[in-house]
Amino acid sequence: MLDYKKIKLDFPILQTQMNGKPLVFLDSAASSQKPQKVIDASSDFYRCRNANIHRGAYRLSYEATDLYELTRTKVKEFINAREPEEIIFTRNTTESINLIAYSYAIKFLKEGDEILVSEMEHHSNLVPWMIVAQKKGVKIKHIPLTEDYQYDYEKIPDVLTERTKVISVAHMSNAIGTIHDLKKISYYAKQVNAIFVVDGAQGACHLPVDVQEIDCDFYAMSAHKMLGPTGVGVLYGKRELLEMMDPFMGGGDMILTVWKDGYKPAPLPNKFEAGTPNIAGVVAYAVALDYLKSIGIENIHQHEVEILQYAIPKLKEIPFVRLFGTEDFSKRGGVISFLVEGVHPHDIGTILDQEGIAIRAGHHCCEPLMKKIGIPGTARASFYLYNGIEDVDALIKGIEKVIEIFKLKEKRYITVQK
């Protein structure tokens, strides 16, 4: 395993307490914690280099611009894009996917065309396409799922047609941790000449990403899930597609020139970056990328798999606990979604909170998946590079406390099942 105890020392918040107990943070799928270096980079920018970018004719502005554009280059290298101009900064993954929906899909899709998603997607990778469908008369179709909630790749050809124009899927499920085979989906997209969009919010933080190898047309991700600040997102897009698309927003810095009755957009990437961005956040994001690179994304993923291999057998031994997701660890990231029979997920979260354990409870912005399973939601523990087996042990003790408080007994469990 990674030397997670040493890594944990880099994160100030992980040295604190919650409700009088040492903090056990198991909600990194929602937003990761930040190492001191990233926190310092943000405050250092405001303290020493604060200026607007691209337009100032003075040294501070030049320095701020250089730092901002350096991050773009680092992102390009991190995901192996062809050129920095294919990297667009947004606020988050949600905005990145909306940008594709409005600037590509609404422009180019026609009534009767089809968008292929799945019932496992985060709402951010569903609702924008629903908006497209409402505006353009487009049909939304779904990739079939297996019994353990993986994409059923053999059945994808059954839902593909010549009208399929967009295929948009998650790299990894935020709700149950399933890792999807993007190369297979890319292959199918090419068969029908559909654009291939990847929601990488849970991918880039846990898994190596090579957009050229995947051959996706777009890849979206968020800095805050990968040790960076909130308010910074990335959209990778192939240049030839970005050139075809209209600007997402109008305003300063996205124009080349403006007349009294028209405008000409700026070249990439400025075309899609209207207004003053989160400069300090983008600058700090570069430090987060350097930190992840120093640890190694492959090592982080392997560390999470080892945590799962320790945690899941132990959780399966606890009466009343129901687990969700595949048990094939080669196709699963560091997420454990579970229920305690007869206990609402919010009650589980509240009791664990009193023990200093931070988890997520609810539908995880995946209501269609929860409806398909037939449950209102789950409790979700998600792991990252700073978690270790003692965090799993704390979670198990917390779940046992839930069972104790609710006075669950085998007889009651059998009755509930009937």
Strand partners, 400: none
Asked if 70 contacts 81 with a C-beta cutoff of 8 angstroms, the reply is: no
* Cis previous bond, 267, omega within 30: no
User: What are the backbone angles phi and psi of residue 358, rounded to the nearest 5°?
Assistant: -100, 115
C-alpha to C-alpha distance for 410 and 416, rounded to whole angstroms: 10
Residues sharing a CB contact under 8 Å with residue 326, sequence separation 6 or more, in sequence order: 148, 149, 150, 176, 178, 332
The phi-psi region of residue 175 (left if phi > 0; otherwise alpha if psi is between -120 and 50; otherwise beta) is alpha
Strand partners, 151: 145
C-alpha to C-alpha distance for 220 and 88, rounded to whole angstroms: 10
State whether the Cα torsion 368-373-379-382 is positive or negative. Answer: negative
Question: Which positions are annotated as active-site residues?
Answer: 365
Q: What is the DSSP string of 56-102?
A: --SHHHHHHHHHHHHHHHHHHHHHT-S-GGGEEEESSHHHHHHHHII
Q: Which residue has the tokens 């009343």?
A: 320
Amino acid occupying residue 133 = A
C-alpha to C-alpha distance for 183 and 187, rounded to whole angstroms: 6
Q: What does the chain come to in residues?
A: 418
**How many other C-beta atoms can be found within 10 angstroms of the C-beta atom of residue 298?**
10
Q: Which tokens is 352 given? A: 């664990």
